[in-house]
Amino acid sequence: MLSLSLAQLNLTIGDMPGNIALMTAAARQAVAAGAQIVVFPELSLTGYPPDDLLDEPDFLARVDIALAGLCDASRVTPGLYWVAGAPTRRQGPGKALENSLLVLKNGKIVLSYAKQLLPTYNVFDERRYFEPGPDVARTLEIDGAKIGFLVCEDAWNDAGVDYPINPLARLAAEKPDLVVTINASPSNIGKREERHALLAAASRRHGLPMIYVNQIGGHDQLVFDGASFAVTPRRGVVFEAARFEEEVATLRLANSEFSDADGKTLAPVPATGLSVMAFYRRQIVLGLTDYARRCGFSKALVGSSGGIDSALTLALAAEALGPENVIAITLPSRFSSAGSVDDSVALCNKLGIRLFEHPIRDIIADYEKGFHAAFGEPLAGLPLENLQARTRGTILMEYSNQYGALLLTTGNKSEISVGYCTLYGDTNGGLGLIGDLYKTEVFALSRHLNEAAGRELIPAAIIDKPPSAELAPDQKDTDSLPPYPVLDTILKILIEGKRLSAEEREAVKADYARLAETENGAALIARVRRMIWKNEYKRRQAPPILRLRPRAFGSGRKMPIAAKYE
């Protein structure tokens, strides 16, 4: 019987002493649970993804020191095998590094395997830093069990679609008793089910039990959900660790079947995980919590317009950081409705957030006078609208600089897609929480928060009122944009397309097709497409956005600014 611990940890990129400390604590837990092996995530020494830190000589020198420190740390559990990930140096032509899996025991590296398949799609760019490992299988016998090892992507090409080699098939030919794969798999909607389906099919195809260990935590735009799991050829997914939480879980393997640390039968794993809205909530909360913690912020700041976007941002920030650590500022202009302030007051009372009021009427009036005096004509139209947004952004940054609070942007994916936002105004800030949510999803998530709380966290008056930037008299979003259900249908097809889940694509493609069949609908689609293209420059200058969906703005979508699109 083999006993092993799956250690999904919240590792910090670049904090190698801290990461070693986390691994050491987990190894002690594994020993206490009777494990012979403890398995950590991909690049667990450095955290994932280290990106261009890997090009820095000083960083690589630190890696060398930390790798020696990791070996020393394994001496505290002399009978335990540590399976860890680290960048390692290599000789010869090509890149100077490999993305390696290392097996350590009592201070020594007893096995080394270099990742063969280096993804360069979506948010990944591993070939930029690493050389692929040789096309070989690596196994190790531990207490009579033959264990094979892979790193993340190496297990994802079993259908032979994306790469000309299949490391899993090569490993299966060695007839191991168990396959261990270490991973740093960022989370998005539907990713959990995708992982389960892929590994369960591979397990059946090769007749091999497998374990999949993933990291958790927020790293800039990316959030990792953990959800490490085990699969068997006969039963599929038989164990799943917690999502969005650290956990060290110990399993036993006998006769190709897993049991818990005490040898008892494992509880069934539900095929369906969190609901879509519950997933969004957990992902955003963890993403903000870690971003603030790692960047040294204890407080967050939001400009409260009395609208749905800032309301949802405030509610999520309060959950992540605690309402006592969130500040709201309402900045009414002469175009603001009474409800913008009143609704902000009601919202902050319900959330327990402190609200400040900083009117901008007089500031804008002074700008208008100065503009007229300098240029001989009145300030009106779009320049006046954008001036209000930029003035608000300036005041919010003043507060951020003065008191050290992290300013959160409040733009949603629908608005960001078509440029319905103001550079150096409402795009100011350090992080966007809802920038990968379409406007219709913003409403849905707001309702979900209320339902989950069993009370109104976000007042119905905010959810029910027509969206408006309130930068001009009686302004509504629909003055400039199609209704959001229509806009979101178009955007999902144009931005995400085949990356949509089968269910979501099925839900929107019929409506999109009906639009495309009419002259007005086709013209609207063409207009939205042009709006997406011409506003790439705004997105390039915007703060990072927490990634929720398979294709988010930022590192997962790289488009040129100065280009001809049609």
Which member of 98, 105, 115, 538 is catalytic? 115
Instruction: List phi, psi (to 5°) of 370.
Output: -65, -40
The yes-or-no answer on residue 398 being catalytic is no
In 3D space, the residue among 532, 533, 509, 512 whose CA is nearest the CA of residue 521 turns out to be 512
Residues 6+ away with beta carbon under 8 Å from 519: none
CA dihedral for 361, 362, 366, 367, sign (positive or negative): negative
Nearest to 177 by CA among 149, 135, 136: 149
Report the distance separating Cα 42 and Cα 217, nearest Å: 13
Edge-to-edge, what's the strand order for the sheet holding 229-232?
139-142, 145-151, 178-183, 210-214, 229-232, 236-240
Q: Which residue has the tokens 């929480």?
A: 433
Cβ neighbours of 5 (radius 10 Å): 27
Give me the catalytic one of 42, 126, 319, 470. 42
Q: Which of 71, 105, 152, 538 is catalytic?
A: 152
Amino acid found at 224: F
- For tokens 């503009």, name the residue: 371
Three-state SS at 376:
coil
First to last CA, the chain: 63
Q: Three-state SS across 386-403?
A: HHHHHHHHHHHHHHHHHH
DSSP H helical ranges for 124-184: 167-172
Q: What DSSP assignment string belongs to 380-445?
A: -SHHHHHHHHHHHHHHHHHHHHHH-PEEEE---HHHHHHT-S-TTTTT-SSEESSTTS-HHHHHHH
Q: With the CA atoms of 492, 496, 498 and 499 taken in that order, what torsion angle do they form, in degrees rounded to the nearest 10?
A: -120
107, 113, 125, 140, 366 from 110: Cα distances, Å: 9, 10, 29, 9, 72
Structure tokens at 487: 């806009």
152 counts as catalytic: yes
Q: Please list, in sequence order, all residues whose beta carbon lies within 8 angstroms of the beta carbon of residue 456, skipping any fewer than 6 positions away.
A: 350, 450
C-alpha 271/C-alpha 25 separation (Å) is 32
115 has catalytic annotation: yes
- Two tokens, residue 435: 């920038």
**3-class secondary structure, 490:** helix
Tokens read off for 172: 């299966």
Other beta carbons within 10 Å of 489: 24
The residues annotated with a catalytic role in the active site are 42, 115, 152
